[in-house]
Structure 1
Amino acid sequence: MLSLGYTPQSSFTVSIGREYHVFAMALWQGAILLLLADDHHLPNWFPMGLFSANDPRLPDEWSFWSAESDEEGLQALWGYKQLVADATHYDGLLEREPEALRYFYEEETRRLNLD
């Protein structure tokens, strides 16, 4: 995780022992990150090493995108269709844009109703 800019003093807005639903996975500079609603109920990306998987299956409706082989930063993305198909939605989540957050929470509601 140090290669991603995290330090041993880094803190994360997730809790030990709590179960989270994963809405996407990203390959970022060689590390897998997970998109989930954190303890403040905000969509955030977290290193996969913070979690263990209770159910290793990927949702059937997820889409996939990969960058050119020499791309730095975001190299691949798995997740709900809007996130993978629309770069402005991906960026909007990072910027906390209201429309992106609204769509994320709609996706969260839809996904939780399936479980």
Structure 2
Amino acid sequence: MLVLCRSVSGKSLPENARIMGETDETDFSPLQIGQQYKVYGVMFYTSRIDFLVCPASGGPMWVPSNLFDVVDDEIPQGWGCVLTERSEGYADLSEAFGIHSICGYLELIRSYSHYVGILERDPEELKIFYSQ
């Protein structure tokens, strides 16, 4: 799956999609307008979908799909899906943020410690991520 960044501004998010405290002033740097990004995961909330992308000048980050146009809609072979409310660790995401499910490469959806590790920039978990 491949997406094209068309905005890095919170202004591009409809009011009902601002679920993580985003405002018009929210800046989604280090994303770059006009740059294509490989999608490593898709996260489903009630009112929006986020993509897991990895800008060249930063680490992996979840960002609202509203900022992108889909260039290649093919789901990568070997991906899986976790229903957060029914899975140990991931249930915290359901309760705290209203995340219903995550689809992505298998380590992302099978290991909550990996999910947390890439966001916290754990070197061992980032090695696994970058191998994708």
Is the 8 Å Cα contact of residues 4 and 29 (structure 1) preserved in structure 2? no
Q: Which runs of 5+ in 1 are unaligned?
A: 108-115
**Share of identical aligned residues, percent?**
31
How many residues matched?
A: 107
What TM-score do the two structures reach when normalised by structure 2?
0.74
Higher relative contact order (CA 8 A, sep 6+): 2
Q: Which residue of 2 aligns with 1:84?
A: 109
Q: Deviation string for 1:50-101 (max 9, x for gaps)?
A: 0000111111210111123894323200000001000000010111111111
Is the 8 Å Cα contact of residues 89 and 100 (structure 1) preserved in structure 2? yes
Code of the residue aligned with 2:104 in structure 1: it is G
**1:61 and 2:86 are equivalent in the alignment:** no
* TM alignment of 1:3-14, pairs within 5 A: 3-12=19-28, 13-14=30-31
Offset of 1:30 from its aligned partner? 3.5
* TM alignment of 1:12-31, pairs within 5 A: 12=28, 13-28=30-45, 30-31=47-48
Q: Which residue of 2 aligns with 1:111?
A: none
In 2: Cα distance, 1:82 partner to 1:68 partner: 18
What TM-score do the two structures reach when normalised by structure 1?
0.84
